Amino acid sequence: KTLASKGINCAAYHAGLETEIRNRIQDQFAKDDIQVVVATVAFGLGINKSNVRYVIHFEPPKTLESYYQEIGRAGRDGLPAEALFLYDEKDVERINKRIMEGENEQRVNVELQRFQAMRGFVDAQTCRRKVVLNYFAEFTEQGCGNCDICLDPPSQFDATEAAQKVLSCVFRIEQCGDIEHVVAVLRGEVNEKIRQLGHDKVSTYGIGKDKTPGYWFSIVRQLIHLGYLQQDIATQSSLCLT
């Protein structure tokens, strides 16, 4: 309604609409009779339209797989296209809650883990394209030169020693802990899991206690984005060396 009131030729599309209306909107969009469609994920993935110029996300998708597919609808004719990602801190809380409402516990756990990767994409300090490709194990050193990070890079510092501490810790605990666990070991925290697994005896226990949890979370996320670490969904998002 807001867009239409500004004179933009647009339509809404969601699962609650009658099939006949949905088909008509899809057809009109494909023929360029409608310029903008504001849609939920009900809008078909196989939109046969090569000249989509913009894909705008109003909140994060639940998975990087979804995001990759959705932005892939833009610029199929080979001409420049733009993806705009709008994000609010409250989105994470809302989407987490939505996932937690699922009835299948195993599925909920997997969805939460996959959404963690989406959160990592949002927090990235490295080229967005690199983050997406590394997630799919298609490692690349080359920045895309097009994303917000490439065009307006954040300030950097030499984190070699911090990276070595994290990678060494992952190795010492035999790659059997998620981000929270690795950070807890680095900071020398005392909890039941660390004691049970004997991770208070490894040489990297407590070597990062001078830094905050947020600092270590950030370092771990960058190591994931750069392709030095991967999260293994099959083992509750344990960090693995690549």
What is the predicted pLDDT for the residue at 239?
A: 93
What is the predicted pLDDT for the residue at 45?
A: 62
152: how many CB neighbours lie within 10 A of its CB?
7
Judged by phi (left if over 0) then psi (alpha if -120 to 50, else beta), residue 26 lies in alpha
Contact in structure between 193 and 203 (CB atoms under 8 Å): no
* H or E, element range at 148: helix 148-151
What are the residue ranges in the chain where pLDDT is below 70? 45-46, 89
Contact in structure between 207 and 200 (CB atoms under 8 Å): no
In sequence order, the β-bridge partners of residue 39 are 13
Judged by phi (left if over 0) then psi (alpha if -120 to 50, else beta), residue 180 lies in alpha
Instruction: Strands of the chain (E only): list them.
Output: 10-13, 36-39, 54-57, 82-85, 229-232, 238-241
What is the predicted pLDDT for the residue at 46?
A: 60
* Token output for 177: 């802990």
* Token output for 124: 């990235």
The residue to which tokens 């690349």 are assigned: 140
What is the predicted pLDDT for the residue at 16?
A: 93
Tens of pLDDT, residue by residue over 120-177, are 888 888 899 998 998 888 888 889 999 999 999 988 899 999 999 999 999 999 999 9
What is the predicted pLDDT for the residue at 211?
A: 96
